[in-house]
Structure 1
Amino acid sequence: MGAFGILKIPEWMLKFLYVNFLWICFSLVGLVMFGLFPATVAMFAIFRKWIMGETDIPIFRSFWRYYKKDFLKSNRLGLLLLVIGYTLYIDFQLLQYASDSVWITIISYVVATITLMYILTLLYVFPVFVHYEIPVFKVLKTSFLTMIVSPLSTIMMMAGSVILYFSLRNFLGLAVILGPSLFAFLVMCSVYLSFTKLIKSKAVKLESS
């Protein structure tokens, strides 16, 4: 990570812009619905390599390789995430029309808690996907467990997201062409710290990619 020096900030900003450009283009290539998840996986995979010290990898070639390699698997993951998210959305809609009672209130709190856990787990899904060679359902399980035992990483992501939001909120164009890649890098950095701590504590025994 020593390569991230002050004098190299312009170079790295261009790299982030380029990765963000590829993410947008490859998402569109897959007609958004089928391209978004493979493109996001490819972006996280590149950031993982940078964080591990491989800062000179060919960006386009690496992005294309990860995009092709995980196209089907990432879309299976994306479909599963969409189904879970849509189910929670429907639950909230139904609860709005339910009559007031103690049980409805309890169920509402339960659904709200599950939704919060779902959103927090989403922050860990793509880092886990690119870091471990595991099946889709195990990606979800590992993401959830990592989130549960890594509150500091979650706090780091939340704090970083707030800082990033206030830094870019007045620059809409910059937020579009740079924001997603910066956010993804922030998430990957935070979760990668969790991976190293969990491995050292032998809390996780998985094969990294």
Structure 2
Amino acid sequence: MEYKGLMGGFYKITEWIMRISGSNLLWIVCSIPFLFFLMTYGISADEAVRASSVWFMGILAPFTVFPATSALFSVARKWVMGEADLSVIKVYFKGYKENYKQSMLGGLFYTLLIVIMVVDYNVYMKELKNLQIIGMIMLVLLLVLFISLFNFFSLVAHYHLKVTLLIKNSILLTLISPLRSLYTVIFTVVLAMVTFKFPWLIFFGFGSLTAYMAFFNFNAAYNKLQAKAEKMKASEEGTDQEGGENSSLELPDGKNSEK
């Protein structure tokens, strides 16, 4: 039965609220082990407990948060691609199963690198104060690495690629399309501020809305790069026929690898 007018609009709004909150709750449930130690870190005043919580979060993140987030991005991908009338539960767990290995291996790489860079940053800023410039460089690289996570999860949800290519392209895309990455960061920061004021949003929308915006910006940036690459390829093929040199922009083949 299709509703029209005011009832139709109200029905669509409630339907989207269910989709957003439902996928967000699935993400939270699948991330419970990590979130438990995150909450322990936040509420504990004992430094030993906080330190052990950080270690447990680092160990658990690749096996819980990364697969759960890649599954959430699989749902967001469907929405951005115009496929909203699908079962959120089926799409989520299908994405969780299909992308678990890639997201877990990528999570191991990201977690290890982030830990190393955070330790280096603290060493240069607190112990080797004459080398604080290196600490600042580490901070900038850490921010780029963190921002590239949005593109990493988008790539995992969108393409069949090796983990090395997923990581490489997520970082390159962050550097090549900084504005789109900046839009995602600004949206996430604003949403985090709103969530801080209304904590219930973390259960009913924070993750899903962030994933949607991140994939939306990823998709726009990636489509633009692919169009540019195809134009360059066509131009170079014409140059080759006239005896010119050939070069190519390395991008995943969407026709062969897109999910």
- TM-score, structure 1 as length reference: 0.87
2:258 alignment partner in structure 1: 208
Judge conservation of contact 2:21–2:208 (CA < 8 Å) in 1.
yes
Name structure 2 gaps, 5 residues minimum: 1-7, 35-59, 230-248
| Structure-1 separation of matches of 2:143 and 2:110 | 14
- Secondary structure of the residue aligned to 1:189 is helix
Letter of the 1:110 counterpart = I
Q: Secondary structure at the match of 2:85?
A: coil
Alpha-carbon shift at residue 6 of structure 1 (Å) = 5.7
Q: Does 1:18 align with 2:22?
A: yes
1:164 is matched with 191
2:158 is aligned with 1:131: yes
Q: Deviations over 1:124-157 (max 9, x none)?
A: 1101111121111211110011111112212221
Give the drift of 1:114. Answer: 1.4
Report Cα offsets for 1:171-199 as digits up to 9, x if no partner. Answer: 11123332111111111111111111111
Query: Helix, strand or coil for the counterpart of 1:54?
Result: coil
Q: Do residues 37 (structure 1) and 41 (structure 2) align?
A: no
Equivalent in the alignment of 2:90 = 61
Instruction: Deviation per CA, 1:2-42: give whole Å up to 9, x if none.
Output: xxx965222111110000111112233xx442222211111
In the other structure, the counterpart of 2:135 is 108
Corresponding position of 2:49: none
Q: Distance in 1 between matches of 2:140 and 2:199?
A: 32
Task: Kindly name which structure, 1 or 2, has the bigger radius of gyration based on alpha carbons.
Answer: 2
**Percent sequence identity over aligned pairs:** 26
82-91 vs 163-172, greater mean Cα deviation: 163-172
Aligned partner of 2:120: which letter?
A: D
Taking a change above 3 Å as real, the CA distance of residues 6 and 142 of structure 1, as seen in their structure-2 partners, is: farther
Using a 3 Å threshold, how does the CA distance of structure 1 residues 89 and 163 change in structure 2: closer, same or farther?
closer
| 1:175 aligned onto 2:202 | yes
RMSD: 2.0
Per-residue CA deviation, residues 34-68 of structure 1 (Å, 9 max, x unaligned), is 22221111110111011111111221112111112
**Distance of aligned partners of 1:167 and 1:108 in 2 relative to their CA distance in 1, 3 Å threshold:** closer
Q: 2:123 aligns with which of 83, 91, 94?
A: 94
> What's the TM-score, normalizing by structure 2?
0.71
Distance (Å, rounded) in 1 between the aligned partners of 2:182 and 2:124: 30
The one-letter amino acid paired with 2:180 is S
**Equivalents in 2 of 1:195, 1:111: separation in Å?**
27
1:142 to 169, 174, 188: 169
Q: How many angstroms does 1:85 deviate by?
A: 0.5
Residue in 1 aligned with 2:144? 117
Aligned equivalents of 2:29 and 2:146: distance in 1?
Answer: 26
User: What is aligned with 2:79?
Assistant: 50
